């Protein structure tokens, strides 16, 4: 049984052990963990253990957790709705368990929730519509992959993910996500990029991604996805999506990884996508696209694997030639009535950076390199913000090299 006396805890890290007995799960009774009531940043990390059974249902109203990580156990049953009592919760990671529940819409009222990881469980059913005016107001990383979700994509939520939209991210501070008063604990997650599960040991505060892959979503790709123009990665592969690629995706001007593979999408690949000059990973394979592959900009760098399984496609890099010399010229990008805010430009003074040959997705600059090409979003930020003299704090911003 948990017996921690009267110690005041900033965070409790029990990860990567062989612990069992979820019945003694600490947060069920905050008197067992004498958290200082004046402290609002607290972490409970119990990932990668042997916990099984159901997550205890009672999170008391005085719950002050900011991060709860239960990834990689054998937990079952539903998520306890009492989690909404943790009003300061920023990270909820219950990935890689056996949780059987529908989508926890009730989490949308948490004002500070930034990271929601439900991947690789037994969640099921339609997402449903939001019940609050601004659901998930701070959410910037959501991973629902490898579940049994059905219905159309979460249009109501996508239209209200304000933290992922240009003009709503007012902070210019770039750092790793970590609890306050902690100099040696960093938030970490696992994401699927290019079909490979990659553990991110540290999360950059500017990284934003959506992964809805490997579910049973149907219908088309909503036009409102184009409003999320701060996204670095979008993965909606391995579903049952139909229709064409909406031209509004040209507004995802920050995106570096776009995976629409293994669906039933049709039509031409929009030439407007060639305006996404930081797009470094593209996967449109195993759909029903037809016509010429657009040329220009990043599209000149994508390999054959990006397009396989689309018998109607032609042009570079495929062997099948088109009846026309080249695809139409790309159309310039448009925005959702938003303008560039020159006041957000800043000067990088404190970063020591090295550039390798691998692409670095911004979530963890020092911990992941894949594919080819420089970390274009980071290079662009450095170039863009050198004009003014506003200084920011950059912590441990190193880039891994790959020889």
Give residue-wise pLDDT tens across range 86-120: 998 999 999 999 999 999 999 999 999 999 999 99
Q: Which residue has the higher pLDDT, 263 or 277?
A: 263
Q: What is the pLDDT of residue 247?
A: 93
Residue 42: its pLDDT value, please? 82
Query: Do 126 and 101 contact (CB within 8 A), yes or no?
Result: no
Candidate from 201-215, 229-243, 268-282, 381-395 with smallest mean pLDDT:
381-395
Higher pLDDT, 372 or 380: 380
What is the sign of the dihedral through the CA atoms of 177, 108, 26 and 100?
Answer: negative
More confidently predicted of 293 and 203: 293
Are 399 and 374 in contact, with CB atoms under 8 Å apart?
A: no
pLDDT of 256: 92
Q: In 41-129, at which residue ranges do the beta strands (DSSP E only) sit?
A: 43-45, 52-54, 67-69, 74-76, 91-93, 115-117, 124-126
Q: pLDDT category, 183, cuts 50, 70, 90?
A: low
Query: Is the peptide bond preceding residue 189 cis, with omega within 30 degrees of 0?
Result: no
Chain centroid to Cα 231, Å, comes to: 8
Segment among 18-27, 156-165, 169-178 with least mean pLDDT: 169-178
- Answer positive or negative: Cα dihedral of 117, 121, 127, 130: negative
Mean pLDDT of all residues belonging to the chain: 76
The first and second tokens of residue 54, run together, are: 């159901």
Instruction: Identify the residue with better confidence: 390 or 191.
Output: 191
Enclosing H/E stretch for 158:
helix 155-158
Q: Nearest Cα to 327, choosing from 351, 307, 354?
A: 307
CA distance 67 to 15: 13
Q: Average pLDDT in the 230-244 region?
A: 96
Given a contact cutoff of 8 angstroms between Cβ atoms, the answer to whether 52 and 73 are in contact is yes
pLDDT top residue among 348 and 165: 165
Q: What is the DSSP letter of 305?
A: G
* Helix/strand/coil for 210: strand
Residue 339: partners with Cβ closer than 8 Å, 6 or more residues away: none
- The string of pLDDT tens digits covering residues 306-344 is 999 999 999 999 988 998 554 445 444 444 444 333 333
- Give the Cα separation of 263 and 288 in Å (integer): 8
List the one residue out of 101, 102, 117, 109 whose CA is nearest residue 83: 109
The better pLDDT of the pair 189, 339 is held by: 189
Mean per-residue pLDDT for 185-198?
A: 74
pTM score, two decimals? 0.79
Backbone angles phi, psi at 262, to 5 degrees: 55, 55
DSSP 3-state of 43? strand
Instruction: List Cα–Cα distances, 360 to 37, 249, 272, 328, 357, in angstroms.
Output: 40, 22, 24, 31, 9
For residue 289, the surrounding DSSP H or E stretch is strand 288-292
């Amino acid at each position: 049984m948990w017996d921690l006396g009267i110690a005041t805890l900033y965070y409790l890290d029990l990860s990567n052990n062989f612990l069992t007995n979820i019945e003694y799960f600490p947060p069920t009774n905050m008197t067992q963990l004498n958290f200082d009531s004046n402290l609002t940043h607290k972490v409970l990390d119990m990932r990668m253990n042997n916990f099984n059974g159901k997550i205890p249902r009672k999170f008391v109203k005085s719950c002050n957790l900011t991060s709860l990580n239960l990834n990689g156990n054998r937990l079952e049953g539903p998520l306890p709705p009492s989690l909404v009592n943790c009003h300061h919760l920023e990270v909820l990671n219950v990935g890689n368990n056996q949780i059987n529940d529908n989508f926890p819409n009730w989490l949308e009222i948490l004002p500070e929730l930034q990271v929601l990881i439900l991947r690789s469980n037994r969640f099921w059913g339609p997402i449903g519509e939001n019940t609050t005016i601004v659901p998930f107001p701070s959410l910037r990383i959501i991973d629902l992959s490898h579940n049994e979700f059905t219905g159309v994509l979460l249009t109501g939520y996508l239209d209200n993910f304000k933290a992922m939209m240009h003009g709503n991210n007012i902070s210019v501070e770039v750092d790793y996500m970590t609890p306050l008063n902690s100099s040696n604990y960093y938030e970490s997650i696992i994401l699927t990029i290019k079909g490979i599960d990659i553990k991110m040991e540290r999360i950059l505060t500017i990284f934003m991604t959506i992964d809805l892959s490997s579910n049973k979503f149907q219908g088309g790709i909503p036009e409102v996805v184009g409003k999320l123009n701060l996204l670095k990665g979008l993965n909606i592969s391995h579903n049952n999506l139909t229709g064409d690629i909406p031209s509004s995706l040209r507004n995802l001007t920050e995106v570096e990884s776009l995976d629409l593979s293994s669906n039933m999408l049709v039509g031409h690949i929009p030439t407007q996508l060639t305006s996404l000059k930081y797009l470094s990973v593209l996967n449109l394979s195993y759909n029903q696209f037809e016509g010429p592959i657009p040329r220009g900009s990043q599209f000149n760098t994508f390999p054959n694997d990006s397009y396989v399984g689309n018998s109607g496609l032609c042009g570079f890099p495929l062997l099948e030639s088109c009846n026309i010399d080249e695809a139409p010229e790309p159309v310039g990008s448009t925005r959702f009535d938003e303008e560039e805010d020159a006041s957000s430009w800043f000067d990088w003074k404190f970063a020591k950076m090295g550039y390798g040959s691998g692409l670095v997705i911004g979530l963890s600059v020092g911990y992941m390199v894949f594919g080819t090409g420089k970390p274009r979003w980071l290079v662009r930020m450095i170039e863009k913000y050198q004009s003014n003299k506003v200084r920011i704090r950059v912590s441990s911003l190193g880039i891994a090299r790959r020889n």
